[in-house]
Chains A and B, each alone.
Chain A
Amino acid sequence: MQNQQSTPKLELRNITKWFGPKDTGVCAVDNCSLAVQKGEFICVVGPSGCGKSTLMTVGAGLEQPTEGEILVDGKPAGPPGPQRSVVFQKFALFPSETVAQNIKFGLQMCGVDAKEQERRLVEQLKIMKLEQFRDAYPSELSGGMQQRVAIARSLVMQPEILLMDEPFGALDAQTRTILQEEVQRLHREHHYTVLFITHSVEEAVYLGDRVIVMSRRPGRIKKEISLPRDVVWKRGDIEVAAEHPDFIAARREIWALVREEIIAQ
């Protein structure tokens, strides 16, 4: 592991998660440890059902691990909250509230005053290119637009850690490509600390500073691959990046690891 000199922003230490009673239930995650440094973009890939989403849910504090602990800045993390913001695969927008109300939701829960709410809303709408959808309801938006709103709702909280659980898994290929580039740009400009769960190897190679490959269930960490940071090809479109030899090599290596797990299942 690299970067071990500094205290990680988010650390999952020896996490084991059983659903149902231990030893007779299902073990989703088995003794996983990972550390995300400040400003780092970590991608977790693995076959379906390998426990990668469970790892994120536990990391967010939404579920308690059976064993192990979650640390934020080296201290035990408390209950879930806006500092560890989550973007879900199914968007999870509040259907009875408009785009603006959805984005302001967390600010209101934290008692941010109305003026500041409005300022941050307007800023976020601009960043996510949602200005003209301010008063739309989620049901009036396409899937891609809904996920933009969900990302804006997380980012407006200025979270220290952003957890993303297959955020583009429910989108069509074209929309996904656009949003991948958008997230890449956001990370480059704002240096968010991100833990990103995906089953797409391409996505992981394009977005991640490090890619963590998980084994089939019970999920263990199979291998960790460091990718070049701040290279030119990552700044461009994913289509262009995918033609770079480094991208191809990394994708091949990671895919071989994932494939082993799928075939062994």
Chain B
Amino acid sequence: MRINFLNRTRSSDSSRLPLIYGAGSLLVLLILWTLSTSVLGWIDPMTLPSPAEVVARFGNLIVEPFSGSTLAGHVGASLYRWALGVGAAVLLGVPVGILFAWLPGFRAVFNPIFEVLRYIPPFAWVPIAILWFGASTATQAMVVFIAAFPACVINAQLGVQQVDPILVRAARVLGAGQGAMLRRVVVPVAAPAIFTGLRIAISNGWMALVGAELVVGKVGLGFLISQGQNNDSVSTIFVGIIAIGSLGVIIDTLLQRSETVLLPWRKPRAQRDG
């Protein structure tokens, strides 16, 4: 009993350890930030506002509109554009990646175009996006799409290429056609790599969105930051930056969670050759 109890505490301790360290380092950062600003006054508030100031500004932005919207409005606008762009990139990019790996002919025709396009930075498309769509949601969504698309394609392609050919053979012997083989064997086996692609696509898209919003638009987190700069409100900028970072972490965590739900078969190999 006693031994069991000890073992259990030890194992749960070790699984919580990274979390404790992570929280600890954030806390240290927060303490240093507080000390250097409000307590010791080393840093000028116009360079770096104190945590208290940022929190106050955060509360303020939630209730009072700034540059046309409350914080929720800016966040909502950014999330909407981001979802449109990433959604389109996933819906188009994943099938393209799968087909790149599955159909050599398709790849031979379209891969050169893809390779050239993917080396053009997303922001290089901003002027043309403005020309096509004006200062609309479509403009920022397009930049997000361009930033997110390559990761979807490349990882889906890689995932399919890594599927053990013996699984394809086994499916053939059991009478599977191309469609069933893709649907029931190839795509599920490639799914973890596709998920990795989604994670990269999501963060690339998020970063490109904020960049695009700095340049164009009248609402959104990037716009909020640039308005903070125009109004000499350093704390607004910090609220915007922290919101961008936190939302990124939340989205990524949700995606990782959904992976364990959607791919239940990816369990640790508990027993082998027992």
Interface residues of A (CB under 8 A from B): 60, 62, 80-82, 84-86, 88, 90, 92-98, 105-106, 109-110, 137-144, 153, 157, 171-172, 175
A62 to B169, CA, bound (A): 7
Q: Does B25 contact A (CB under 8 A)?
A: no
Contact B175 A84 (CB under 8 A): no
- Candidates B174, B189, B274; contact of A106 at CB < 8 Å: B174
A142 near B274: Cβ-Cβ < 8 Å: yes
Most buried by A among B175, B177, B266: B175
Residues of A within 8 A of B177 (CB): 109
Report how far A139 CA is from B265 CA in the complex, Å: 7
Q: How far is the CA of A88 from the CA of B164 in the complex (A)?
A: 12
Instruction: Name the CB-closest residue of B to A98.
Output: B265
A111 to chain B, nearest CB (A): 9
Mostly helix, strand, loop or mixed at chain B's interface? loop
* Complex-state Cα separation, A106 to B172, whole angstroms: 9
- Who on chain A is nearest to B168 by CB? A92
Query: Are A62 and B184 in contact, CB atoms less than 8 angstroms apart?
Result: no
Tell me, rounded to whole Å, the shortest Cβ–Cβ distance linking A13 to chain B.
Answer: 21
Among A94, A153, A171, point to the contact of B184 (Cβ < 8 A): A94
B188 part of interface (Cβ distance < 8 Å): yes
Residue of A nearest to B274 (CB): A142
What total of chain B residues lie within 8 Å of the partner, measured CB to CB? 29
Evaluate contact between B173 and A80: CB separation under 8 angstroms: yes
B171 at interface, CB cutoff 8 A: yes
B68-125 CB contacts (< 8 Å) to partner A: none
Q: For the complex, what is the distance from the CA of A85 to the CA of B171, rounded to whole Å?
A: 11
| Cβ contact of B169, chosen from A88, A110, A172, cutoff 8 A | A88
* A142-B271 in contact given A86-B169, A90-B166 (Cβ < 8 Å): yes
- Give the CA-CA distance A88 to B171 in the complex, in Å: 12
Q: Compute how far the CA of A167 lies from the CA of B274 in the bound complex, rounded to whole angstroms.
A: 17
Number of CB contacts from chain A to chain B under 8 A: 88
- Contact A90-B174, Cβ < 8 Å, known A137-B265, A143-B273, A175-B273: no
Query: How far, in angstroms, from A138 to B272 measured CA to CA in the complex?
Result: 10
Cα distance, A143 to B272, chains bound together (Å): 6
Return chain B residues, CB-CB under 8 Å to A92.
Answer: 164, 166-167, 169-170
B239 CB, min distance to chain A CBs, angstroms: 43
B residues contacting A by CB (< 8 A) are 164, 166-167, 169-177, 180, 184-185, 188-189, 191, 263-267, 269-274
Residues of B within 8 A of A96 (CB): 184-185, 188-189, 191, 263, 265
B172 touches A62 (CB 8 A): yes
In the complex, given contacts A105-B171, A110-B175, A143-B273, what are 14 additional A-B residue pairs having Cβ atoms less than 8 angstroms apart?
A86-B169, A88-B169, A88-B170, A94-B170, A96-B184, A97-B188, A97-B265, A109-B176, A138-B265, A139-B266, A139-B269, A141-B271, A144-B273, A172-B273
Closest Cβ of chain A to B43, distance in Å, is 53
- Whole-angstrom distance between the Cβ of A196 and the nearest chain B Cβ: 16
Bound-state CA distance A255–B191 (Å) is 46
Measured CA separation A98–B184 after assembly (Å): 12
Given A92-B164, A96-B188, are A82 and B273 neighbors across the interface (CB < 8 Å)?
no
Task: Given A139-B269, A171-B273, verify A82-B164 contact (CB < 8 Å).
Answer: no
B184 CB to nearest chain A CB (Å)? 7
Q: Are the C-beta atoms of B173 and A86 separated by less than 8 Å? A: yes
Q: Write the nearest CB–CB distance from B153 to chain A, whole angstroms.
A: 22
A91 CB to closest chain B CB (Å) equals 9
Q: Please report the C-alpha to C-alpha distance between residue A92 and residue B272 in the assembled complex, in whole angstroms.
A: 15
Who on chain B is nearest to A108 by CB?
Answer: B180
Q: Given A95-B265, A96-B191, answer yes or no on A82-B167 (Cβ-Cβ < 8 Å).
A: no
A-B contact pairs, 30 of them (CB 8 A): A62-B169, A62-B172, A82-B173, A82-B174, A82-B175, A86-B169, A86-B173, A90-B164, A94-B170, A94-B171, A94-B185, A94-B189, A95-B265, A97-B188, A105-B171, A105-B176, A106-B175, A109-B180, A110-B175, A137-B265, A137-B267, A138-B265, A139-B267, A140-B267, A140-B269, A140-B270, A143-B273, A153-B174, A157-B174, A175-B273
Best-buried of B170, B176, B263 by chain A (most CB within 10 Å): B170
Please pick, from B173, B267, B270, the residue contacting A62 in the complex, using a CB distance under 8 A.
Answer: B173
User: Shortest beta-carbon distance, A54 to chain B, in Å?
Assistant: 13
Docked pose: A137 CA to B267 CA in angstroms: 9
Lowest 3 A-B CB distances belong to which pairs? A96-B188, A106-B174, A92-B170
Contact across chains for A109 and B175 when beta carbons are under 8 A apart: yes
A259 smallest CB distance to B (angstroms): 29
Chain A residues, Cβ within 8 Å of B267: 137, 139-140
Partner of B173 from A85, A93, A139, A172 at Cβ < 8 Å:
A85
